[in-house]
Structure formats: structure tokens, C-alpha cells
Amino acid sequence: MKQRVVITGTGMITPLGHNVEDVWRNLLACKSGIEITKNFDAASFPTKFSAEVKDYNIFDHLSDTDKLKHKDADRNSSFILGAALQAWAQAGLPKTLSMDKTDDTTPRADRVGVYLGAGEGPPDFDNFIRPTAESWIKEDKAMDWKNWADVALKHMRPIHELQQEPNMSASHIAHLFKLRGLNMSCLTACAASTQAIGEASDLIRHGDADIIIAGGTHSMIHPLGITGFNRLTALSTRNDDHTTASRPFDDSRDGFVIAEGAGVIILESLESATKRGAPILAEVTGYGSTADAFRVTDQHDQGRGGIAAVELALETAGLSPDKIDYISAHGTGTAENDSIETHVIKTVFGEYAKSTPISSVKSSLGHLIAAAGVVELITCILAIRDNIIPPTLNLNTPDPALDLDYVPNTPRKQEVNVAMSNSFGFGGQNNTIIIEQYRDNKS
């Protein structure tokens, strides 16, 4: 018999705050996390701004022993550790787990896992460029690779370089809580953390784990990351008005604003959560995952993969479109994404498309890439808790072709029992999750 899957803890480190309640308060206050980039000197780049996590240090939240264990954690791993500590505490779980199960309220370490949508760590440019500069042979326009290796092996830090592996963030979490269950990572671009949550939910539903820490983390605010997205012309270049540069669904939108951060939810079987007396924040009821198989970076122009993902999520939740009270849009602020997502919603929701509220919190937070989906799903949990829909900021000049209810500029008080979150990533990755207010008598 399939298990019901509930959410018992949440945690966030974002440009709008270092915990869930601060982020939520700032979202509803219509604040922006977008500033001139400080992670590196971006003055000569086409995009000089981003949404960075400010003044956060994971070592302020770790014991002396744990500081030593995680001393080599890079920026994105430190974010996910902080988010995981928050979620773990809210779920009422013990500081660390063991293989001994003394009672029904203490999970066994091999029944608790980690599944993250996590990006690679920020490159160590200083230590990479040094051997490159010293080994460049101008006359031959070639590299002296022997000299490069000699210099690099002296100056590059081996553990730090290994942090480039996307699975390192999940390993840090397992190490922190002594988790010996499944440990998995996926990197499906902007859809990664939504995919991790959806697949983790299915693993619990089928009995492969009792509890999974699921979510994502990413930090691409560095020269290589910005260069790549600028070359793709995907980033906004509104340098003269950067705080309002993220404009999903607006007629003047010119690209997304890159952000960094992490989010975590604790997924748990209803049986486990009930035995522990854990707080139940919401229930995961629907999940759909598809690929466009269209182009390496672009969505299909008619949204075929997005349509299929939304339909599959509704099917697995056993819901019709009229039961969805709120859609958290992928809503990046690029011309193509916003148009295609609107087409997806119109196609699937039909007559209910115009009466279903939709918003994009990327207008405040920026785009957290691999971590975007989990942060947006947490805002859905809060929308259900407080019956408030967060707004789409900077939507002042509606695109005539985009005529749905995008909740412009002001939060809206409205009953929310069921919410849907979309994540559509580079490469045509499409993931949709549906969560509902928990009801203990649901069949």
C-alpha cells in the first residue's frame, strides 16, 4: 500500500533572508533582494547586478566539532547546511541519528536519506588562473602543461577542488546528521530541486525511505556563470534600474536576474510523522516530470513538455484544474519562458486559466537556478498556511499577449488549500508539484 507523503520541516537561505519567516515577511512586504554584484567585480560585464546572499556564515550555526567537519564546505554547501539545520529543527528530529531504533519516535539512520537538486560549487578562479597565466607561451600561443601542473599542484587546494562535484552538498548533509539512507543528487538546471522533491516523494511513497531531506542549492554568481548567461542573452541588463529588473510577465521584461541560495524541506511518510508527533505543514499529492526533447537550452515553443508535466501532476494528485487555488509560476522574466508558461496554463486549465491566481516570486528573489523550485514550493506551503498569495513585482505594463491573473505588485488574501509549483529548466526539463493542506481523513 502506497504511503502518503507529508512535509514536516522547511528551511531557507536566500537573498531576502536567512530563514523562512524572514523571507516570507520580506516577500509580502514587496522587497527586492537584487543589488549590484559584490561576489566579484562585475563592473565590466553586461549585467552588473544579481541577488546575492548577504552576511551569512554557516560557522555561526555549527558546533566546534561540526565546524571542523565542514571546514571545506564551499558557498552552496554552506547554504544548504544552514537550510537543513532549520528544517531538521522544525521537524523535531534529534540532532543526529544512529542505527539503533529504541522507540517509534526515533527514526533509524538508514531509513533517512538526502535528495538534492544541487549545482556545482563556485570555481576557485584565483588558484586556477595563477598556473594558467604562468604557463601561457605567448610565442606559440600554447600551454606549457608541465609547468601548469607544477604550479597548480603547489597552490590549488585538493578538497576545495573536489567541492566542484554537485553531490558534495548532499554528502555534507548526510555527514552532519549521520544519515545512512539513500543519498542522491540531480542537476537538471532550473528544474533540479523540484525534481529532487518529486522523486524523493515517490521513494517514500513506495517505502524506500521514511524521511528524506529534499531541496536544492546553487551559487553561480561568479565570472564564469555570468559570462555564460550573458552570452545566451538570458540575463536582464537593466543596470540603470536593477532593483526592478526582474519583471516576469511584464511587456518590458528583458531577461532573468541570477540569484543564489538554498532551500530544504523534510519529506516524511505520514506513518512516520504521526508516530513522531511531528508538525505536518502540507501533503505532497501530485508530481509530473517530462522532457521537451526540443533544443539543448530552449523549451518547446508550444510547451509540449510543460503541458505534459502539469497534466501528469494533476493526474497523480487526482485533481481537476478547478481545484488548484494558486500556481507558483516558473516565471523567469524572459520573453520566451513567460509566454510558453502562459500557453501551458491556458492549454491545461482551459476555462479556469483566467480565474486561477499565478505569481512569480523570482520578481523579488531572483532566479536561484537549481534551488529555485524548492524555495518557490516553500512559499506555496506558506500561502496555504496563511491564505496569502505573494505578488509578482514590477508588473506595471502587462504584455497584451499574457492575459492571466499574475497577482501584480500586491499580496492577495485568498483561501489556498491546493497549490501547484512549476519548474521548467534549460534543456527542456519540466517538473510540476502539487501540494495540499493536510487532512487526516483524506481517503
Q: Is 30 an annotated catalytic residue?
A: no
Q: Is 367 an annotated catalytic residue?
A: yes
- For 428, the grid coordinates are 527542456
Q: Is 242 an annotated catalytic residue?
A: no
Name the active-site residue from 218, 222, 330, 343: 330
- For 393, the grid coordinates are 513585482
Run of H or E including 421: strand 418-425
Name the active-site residue from 18, 222, 300, 367: 367
278 Cα distance to chain centroid: 24
**Amino acid letter, 354:** K
Q: Where are the alpha helices (DSSP H) in 110-268?
A: 125-135, 145-155, 158-162, 168-177, 192-205, 223-231
Name the active-site residue from 190, 218, 222, 380: 190
Task: Give the CA angle between residues 322, 324, 328 to the nearest 5°.
Answer: 140
Residues in the chain: 443
CA quadruple 61, 66, 67, 71: dihedral, nearest 10: -120
Beta strands at 358-359 and 326-328: parallel, antiparallel or unpaired: parallel
Q: Where are the alpha helices (DSSP H) in 232-388?
A: 270-276, 304-317, 335-349, 362-365, 372-386
**Amino acid letter, 304:** R
Task: Compute the distance between CA of residue 419 and CA of residue 417 in angstroms, rounded to an integer.
Answer: 7
Q: Is residue 416 within 8 Å of residue 356, measured between CB atoms? A: no
CA distances (Å), 86 to each of 89, 190, 377, in order?
5, 23, 16
- Residue by residue, DSSP assigns 366-413 as -B-GGGHHHHHHHHHHHHHHHTEEPPBTT--SB-TT--S---BSS-EE
Which of 104, 113, 149 has its CA nearest to residue 131?
149
Task: Compute the distance between CA of residue 357 and CA of residue 361 in angstroms, rounded to an integer.
Answer: 13
**Mapping DSSP to helix (H, G, I), strand (E, B) and coil, where does residue 184 land?**
strand
Task: Compute the distance between CA of residue 122 and CA of residue 291 in angstroms, rounded to an integer.
Answer: 27
The residues that are catalytic are 190, 330, 367
